[in-house]
Structure 1
Amino acid sequence: MSKQLFVLSPDDVYFPDPINSMEDPEGLLAIGGDLSTTRLLQAYQQAIFPWFSEGEPILWWSPIERAVINPAQVRISKSMAKFIRHTSLTVTINHAFTEVINACAIPRKTQAETWISPAIKNAYKKLHKIGAAHSVEVWDKEILVGGLYGVNIGSVFCGESMFHQQTNASKLAFIALCQHFSRYQGQIIDCQMMTPHLESLGVVANTRDDFIEQLTQYKNSITAKSCWDKQKITLL
């Protein structure tokens, strides 16, 4: 029996069980609702995230495969380790959230458009303002050259997007996030969908069921507030 797309009510933040997500397109669970902070946090706590193009209705996804990493197990190649030892680039947390999400929204060379619409940017800026969304920045002196942003749920960090304007800058941001989050007993970083870039850094393909089990275990863990204070990250 084929599965049907759920239409969300604008009056509450209920989400259907992710097991009901569609097979084609794979992982699509629901349509509609809004991008309020309450609804977004409810979604992330259930392994659901929004992804849609500008002009489309809001689409909510929970793919059957999930790309995740234990931050303590980030993989650093020999060439990247050498780069880290010699680079003059610096890495910070929460110094430039708006600039990072704006940079992530610029379409890649292979893309005609971006899914990070003005509505998405505004929604995640609100999450940042309440201390739920965070950015990692890579700087070449005073110039922002790479970074990433995402949402923190307990001891789980749900990565949303990353960018680079210099070679290795996004890798540096990801490795810095892993090392820093691990120091604060972070357990899982959710990368949503696997790419060769993420796989090279040690990200593995997990099942949605296993990810939901991990999320249930860790989403109520308390991460020290100082984890997300504005600060510089020193890489090991």
Structure 2
Amino acid sequence: MSALSPDDILNGYINGIFPMAEADGTIYWYSPNPRAIIPLNAYKPSKSLRPILNKNYFEIRIDSDFEGVMRGCAAPRTKEPGTWISEDIIESYSELHRFGYAHSVEAYRENRLVGGLYGVSINGVFFGESMFTVESNASKVAFHYLIEILKHNGFRLLDTQFINDNVLRYGAIEIPREEYLDMLGKALKVKARFNGVPFTQGVQLN
């Protein structure tokens, strides 16, 4: 039995909070103030990324290896002493994935998973959780396709929780928690589904 049920996680997100695990495995709920979001219309791929996108350097798959992406995100990183993605978190979100709420966008080279990201989709909101890369630009390409998917399917809000250098490069901004909760409430009323984008080349859907 996982530490968090799908209902626990979904109810948390709907109310503006999300879980993270400490080094000892204890899970706490967070509601940052200010909150970080990425305005969907603000994102533009960098000039250096465009040739990689045009050449379809990576094969993109959707929901092909959700747990693999989570474990890639949970792997040790040079600049970070620990991870908030515990085994309980992996088990809980994998269960949420099986229910159709958690999704991954994955980048492959020669049939090997080399980067990706995952998050939770509820109506018109995508709650971005984490991303990883083991090959240069892999997570950037996965993020580009995430934006394409969200725009194509009419999503209204991309939540990134905390501000950091990684999300800043994608156009993240901080807003007061009350403003975020207002945006969240409106976006949750929008009916949207996380479906793959049919017109993107090199995208494999499962």
The TM-score, its normalising length taken from structure 2, stands at 0.90
The equivalent residue for 2:172 is 203
Whether contact under 8 Å (2:36, 2:163) holds in the other structure is yes
After superposition, the C-alpha distances for 1:93-130 in whole angstroms (9 at most, x for unaligned) are 11110111111110111233221111000000010010
Whether contact under 8 Å (1:149, 1:161) holds in the other structure is yes
| Secondary structure of 2:163 counterpart | coil
The equivalent residue for 2:27 is 58
The equivalent residue for 2:157 is 188
After superposition, the C-alpha distances for 1:51-88 in whole angstroms (9 at most, x for unaligned) are 12242432110010111122232121111122222342
The one-letter code sitting in structure 2 at the alignment partner of 1:214 is M
Q: Percent identity?
A: 33
The one-letter code sitting in structure 2 at the alignment partner of 1:77 is S
The equivalent residue for 2:42 is 73
Moved over 4 A (4+): 229-233
- Number of residue pairs matched by the alignment: 200
After superposition, the C-alpha distances for 1:160-212 in whole angstroms (9 at most, x for unaligned) are 11000111111111111011110111111111111122111112112211111
The equivalent residue for 1:86 is 55
Whether contact under 8 Å (1:91, 1:232) holds in the other structure is no
Shift in alpha-carbon separation, 1:220–1:63, aligned structure 2, 3 A? same
Q: Distance in 1 between matches of 2:52 and 2:182?
A: 36
Q: Distance in 1 between matches of 2:38 and 2:111?
A: 31
Q: Does 1:174 align with 2:143?
A: yes
The equivalent residue for 2:133 is 164
| Secondary structure of 2:72 counterpart | helix
Shift in alpha-carbon separation, 1:95–1:232, aligned structure 2, 3 A? farther
- Mark the structure with the bigger radius of gyration: 1
Shift of 1:35: 1.1
Q: Following superposition of structure 1 onto structure 2, how do residues 1-236 of structure 1 map, counting pairs within 5 Å?
A: 34-224=3-193, 227-228=194-195, 233-234=200-201
**RMSD of aligned Cα (Å):** 1.9
Shift in alpha-carbon separation, 1:183–1:229, aligned structure 2, 3 A? closer
Shift in alpha-carbon separation, 1:194–1:37, aligned structure 2, 3 A? same
Q: Distance in 2 between matches of 1:77 and 1:67?
A: 21
The TM-score, its normalising length taken from structure 1, stands at 0.79
Unaligned runs of 5+ in 2: none
